[in-house]
Amino acid sequence: MSVSHLTPLTSHLSPVFLMCRPTHYRIAYEINPWMSLKRQSNHARAVAQWNRLYQLLTRELGVRVRLFPPRPGVPDLVFTANAGLVEPHRHARGTSTTTFHVGRHPAHVKDSPAPGGMTGRTIIRSNFRHPERQLEELIIERYFKRAGFRIVRLSSRYDFEGEGDALWMRDTLLFGFRFRSDEPAHEELARILQARVLPVELADRRFYHLDTCFCPLDARTALWFPGAFDRYGRKVIESLVADPISVSEADATRFVCNAITIGGAVVMQTGGSARLQRQLARRGFRLHPVDLSEFLKAGGSAKCLVLRLT
């Protein structure tokens, strides 16, 4: 059976997402062009916006959500998409928990509650580029080990920021590199996943992760902002995606590509253009706009706030 039958885009089961409440979310440092210590997030508003996203996913769209316990001192833990990359479900190899240590070594981290029913799954844990986010790595690892996941880490030589830079398009994993992930990491991903991995170079610092400028909608359709990629990357995407929907720069900076897809439903930051809405409607997609403006201040939106577990 090919990976295309196993990836979230073609699953008929209710998906399971991992989210983290924004209890400690704030702008504590500046590691991307959107973050400014002078433009602090409003905590109450951020909590309300996150709650609305959670309710939309769970109550209206039937998504099951596991909650990652928030921790003080790691404000970006709320962006769970960056925790790692979970292998497609049928790729889970056995039921034992195995950790492959290459480079960085685990230290004691206080135990956290973890999701049940995930024993035997594999997660490729992130190696964050910025020291400010490297504090998350061991917290993430302990959480998934308790859940029964098999933990795989890439060589410590390579930065890799999980689902933020790795998105499935049918049987192919598209891998964004330059600003947060290193290009050679795609070879290790291909070996671990036994799948085709296509690296594409990001060319605009505003779109520092792949999921800020590319969003698979189904097996043949994807949103993307061409200006975020170099010439070769644009050719790769144009050859991979049968029906690419190019978004304007104005829409891209509203993070419309940082969307969540569940079947034909598209959960997207409010403010997308009427043109984009028409393009989605013509293709049969149902748009669910949600205001996540407090998270835009940190350079993230809907997709950044979820990690797909199944």
Instruction: Number of helices (H) and strands (E) in the chain: give both, helices first.
Output: 7, 16
Catalytic choice (20, 209, 213, 288): 209
Nearest one of 102, 199, 144, 121 to 18, comparing CA atoms? 144
Question: What are the backbone angles phi and psi of residue 125, rounded to the nearest 5°?
Answer: -75, 145
Whether 213 is catalytic is no
The pair of structure tokens assigned to 19 is 């989210």
CA distances from 220 to 76, 227, 228 (A): 32, 21, 20
- Longest CA–CA span in the chain (Å) reads 52
Give dist(CA 148, CA 140) in Å, integer. 13
Q: Residue 211: helix, strand or coil by DSSP?
A: helix
Whether 209 is catalytic is yes
Give dist(CA 204, CA 255) in Å, integer. 14
Exposed/middle/buried for residue 217 (C-beta within 10 Å: 0-12, 13-18, 19+): buried
CB 77 within 8 A of CB 276: no
- Sheet of 64-68: strand order equals 64-68, 16-20, 307-308
Q: Please identify every residue annotated as catalytic.
A: 209, 304
